[in-house]
Amino acid sequence: MGAGMFKKVDASQLKVGMFIQDLSCDWMAHPFVRNRFTITTEAEIRKIINAGIHDVVIDSSRGLDVEAPTLAEAQAATEREIIELIAKAPVVTRVALGEEMRRATQIRHQASALVRTVMQDARLGKAIELDLVEPVVQSITESILRNPGALTGLLRIKTADDYTFLHSVSVCTLLVAFCRSRSLDAETTHQAGLGGLLHDTGKALVPDAILNKPGPLTDEEYEIIRRHPQDGYDLLRQSPDIGPIPLDITLHHHERRDGSGYPGHQAEGQISDMAQMAAIVDVYDAITSDRCYHKGMPAAAALRKIYEWSKHHFNPQYAQEFMRCVGIYPVGTMVMLESGRLGVVIEPHETNLLAPKVNVFFNTKQNVYIKPEMVDLSRGLGFGGADKIVGHESAAKWNVDPMRFLTLA
């Protein structure tokens, strides 16, 4: 596999005879039966463009070539832009991570059970009981105010079978954190949290076989999935006390600025601020999670995608603010250090995105656990620092559980 074979092109450059390596649209159940194929007709190119896909990766060793940057060059350039863009705002944590983890664990469990109940009620045609939902949004919000890393870190881990429920909890949590970092008032933030928790209620009406299908969807299945915002909106409207913000988020979290979204094909000026924020959060959580047909990607890679997509699909200013809010190495991320040690991120640095505090617990050179040690990567040699992150590592690759080491902070 030569590294120069993969090139990043705009959909407008596509020609019959090119080999598509990646349609770069894993945030949506897209209407293509496969991700990798040789383009054989102009109609296929139109279908790609109509789906709102702009960035495409081609393999020039398996098809027609074109003048374009290699994938590696394009990614490196984006990475640099992102690091320049995100000047970190200080995160106020009132409570140490280890202390908040216990509460966050309970909240995660309680919130996930609630979403399950909401989905069951929706399936039975019962109105959502907001009295049950409000206190859960409240406890999520309070946890974020105490220490945003605990709950967001815990929610990074989802299994395919509870993905639907935990995704809703996660979108609620990230949306509340996003509202906080944009200094929105408490009531708006609470309403956003409600919307985040309930945004996928319409998926209760999608058959499980489609929801959990391990492969790509057919056009018919894709159409069924695309009904969930409208279905959710109709279900939520049966609750007399539901406010405009959760309804708006539920109906419009799949709208995109270039008009390629659904259900309303709304364009730039029509989508509310809150729906634009929710769209970013929804996609970020989806692509960073392991799902039945998709390996979750690290935060840095997800932010790179969101940054690229914000040219067409998301509000670029909100995309940048969200990138600031979550950071490149969020709490709970496992990283490889130059020294060959593995650590889990415990606390972001206030200004230097690349130098968080890390709890180091494993030596990959000797393949052994080591006594956990807090390393502040922003400090110099002899001050507990003098190591640096070389990249993300997957827990599965080393067969370790980074979550165990979040509580020692």
Per-residue pLDDT reduced to its tens digit, 3-24? 458 898 888 889 999 998 887 7
Average pLDDT over every residue of 173-184: 95
Residue 234 CA, distance from chain mean position? 26
Question: What are the distances in angstroms from CA 378 to CA 126, 185, 324, 354?
Answer: 53, 33, 18, 8
pLDDT of amino acid 238:
94
Closest CA to 116 of 157, 175, 164, 176: 164
Residue 102 CA, distance from chain mean position? 24
Under CATH, what is the fold of the domain 97-326? Hypothetical protein af1432 (1.10.3210)
Question: Does the structure show a pLDDT above 50 at 94?
Answer: yes
Q: What confidence category does residue 300 fall into, taking pLDDT thresholds of 50, 70 and 90?
A: confident
Closest CA to 195 of 256, 124, 111, 253: 253
Residues of the chain with pLDDT > 90, as a percent, come to 53
pLDDT of amino acid 279:
97
Q: Where are the domains of the chain?
A: 3-70, 97-326, 334-405
pLDDT of amino acid 409:
43
Closest CA to 254 of 322, 313, 190: 313
Q: What is the 3-state secondary structure (H, E, C) of the chain?
A: CCHHHEEEEEHHHCCCCCEEEECCCCCCCCCCCCCCEECCCHHHHHHHHHCCCCEEEEECCCCCCCCCCEHHHHHHHHHHHHHHHCCCCCCCCCCCHHHHHHHHHHHHHHHHHHHHHHHHHHHCCCCCCHHHHHHHHHHHHHHHHHCHHHHHHHCCCCCHHHHHHHHHHHHHHHHHHHHHHCCCCHHHHHHHHHHHHHCCHHHHHCCHHHHCCCCCCCHHHHHHHCCHHHHHHHHHCCCCCCCHHHHHHHHHCCCCCECCCCCCCCEHHHCCHHHHHHHHHHHHHHHHCCECCECCCCHHHHHHHHHHHCCCCCCHHHHHHHHHHHCCCCCCCEEEECCCEEEEEEECCCCCCCCCEEEEEEECCCCEEEEEEEEECCCCCCCCCCCCEEEECCHHHHCCCHHHHCCCC
Count Cβ atoms below 10 Å from residue 279 Cβ, excluding itself.
28
In angstroms, the CA 251 to CA 233 distance is 6
pLDDT of amino acid 217:
84
pLDDT of amino acid 233:
97
- 290 neighbors 296 (Cβ within 8 angstroms): yes
Here the tokens at position 315 are 């509000």
pLDDT of amino acid 28:
56
pLDDT of amino acid 291:
77
Q: What confidence category does residue 33 fall into, taking pLDDT thresholds of 50, 70 and 90?
A: low
Per-residue pLDDT reduced to its tens digit, 110-147? 999 999 999 999 999 898 999 999 999 999 999 999 99
Locus of tokens 């399936």: 123
pLDDT of amino acid 293:
66
pLDDT of amino acid 383:
54
Closest CA to 82 of 378, 403, 328, 367: 328
Average pLDDT over every residue of 35-60: 86
In angstroms, the CA 253 to CA 265 distance is 11
Per-residue pLDDT reduced to its tens digit, 216-260? 888 899 899 999 999 999 999 999 899 999 999 999 999 999 999
pLDDT of amino acid 398:
85
Per-residue pLDDT reduced to its tens digit, 357-409? 999 999 999 999 999 999 999 886 655 557 888 888 888 888 888 888 887 54
Report the range out of 35-39, 77-81, 378-382 with the highest average pLDDT: 35-39
pLDDT of amino acid 2:
47
